[in-house]
Amino acid sequence: MAQPGKLTRAIDAYQMLKQEIRTNSLPQGFQSPEPELALRLGVSRTTLREALIRLESEGLIELIPRRGVRVLPLRAEDMKEIYDILILLEPEVAADLASRRLSEQELSPLHEATLRMEAALDRGDLETWAAADDQFHMGMLELHGNRRLMSIIPELWVQMYRARMVTLRLRELPFQSNIEHRSIVDSIRDGDADRARAEFRAHRQRAAHELVSILARSGLGQL
């Protein structure tokens, strides 16, 4: 059994590396020998290896014998699979929330995230916009309250966030996304489950087509 201190250090290393991969501080194709990475993080190679095995299981890196660790590329086909799953799950979350006839207070996290997205876009601050978009989607999951969905879906969002940050300035400004988010909130507030489901599905389908097309055209996933 792992000692508590060692386990904590492995979790810290895992979370630090995952955040760096998520935000592309460690970009796709980045490669490093394990000893260098362990030195940078200030952990032992054994502790680092525990973190890396977990990241590999999540499809974020590959461990290459005698060559270290490599951050996996964002392949268009992988993103399509991720969006296919989200398109099956998330619209049902929206529909279920609509069926609950939530109060304005309960919906306030979604309103606040939408306002943050709109304000960020007005300033041209795409990084803050992306963070507010994450806040919106996480807010929906938290309102829904299904613990298993809250463990499954955010893992898919990590890959999606990576792709979004890489392509953020290769797309048109996301004014349409802001409009769709506000309309989804309105549908949930109005208790219209069918409309909430349809709008959320269309929102994800449009975003998937846009992002996957850019990855396929640009060759960004060929590193």
What is the domain-level CATH number for residue 174?
A: 1.20.120.530
Same domain, 65 and 81: no
3 state SS of 64 = strand
Same domain, 130 and 213: yes
* CATH number for the domain that contains residue 30: 1.10.10.10
Residue (of 51, 38, 63) closest to 2 by Cα position: 51
Rounded to two decimals, the pTM is: 0.82
User: Could you say which of 52, 71, 90 is where a domain stops?
Assistant: 71
| CA gap 40, 63 in Å, rounded | 18
Same domain, 16 and 121: no
Tell whether the torsion through CA atoms of 75, 206, 86 and 126 is positive or negative. positive
| CA gap 179, 203 in Å, rounded | 10
Q: Give the residue numbers spanning the domain of 37.
A: 4-71
User: Could you say which of 54, 71, 88 is where a domain stops?
Assistant: 71
Same domain, 80 and 67: no
Per-residue pLDDT, 1: 45
Q: How many domains does the chain have?
A: 2
Contact between 70 and 77 under an 8 Å Cβ cutoff? The reply is: no
Same domain, 138 and 164: yes
pLDDT in tens, the chain (223 residues): 455 566 688 899 999 999 999 888 999 889 999 999 999 999 999 999 999 999 999 889 999 988 899 999 888 998 999 999 999 999 999 999 999 999 999 999 999 999 999 999 999 999 999 999 999 999 999 999 999 999 899 888 888 888 888 888 888 899 999 999 999 999 999 999 999 999 999 999 999 999 999 988 876 655 5
Same domain, 152 and 54: no
The phi-psi region of residue 63 (left if phi > 0; otherwise alpha if psi is between -120 and 50; otherwise beta) is: beta
Same domain, 90 and 50: no
Same domain, 83 and 169: yes
Same domain, 46 and 59: yes
Per-residue pLDDT, 180: 97
Same domain, 67 and 97: no
- DSSP state at residue 31: E
Per-residue pLDDT, 200: 98
Same domain, 90 and 199: yes
Same domain, 89 and 161: yes
User: Could you say which of 27, 51, 71 is where a domain stops?
Assistant: 71
Contact between 65 and 105 under an 8 Å Cβ cutoff? The reply is: no
3 state SS of 32 = strand
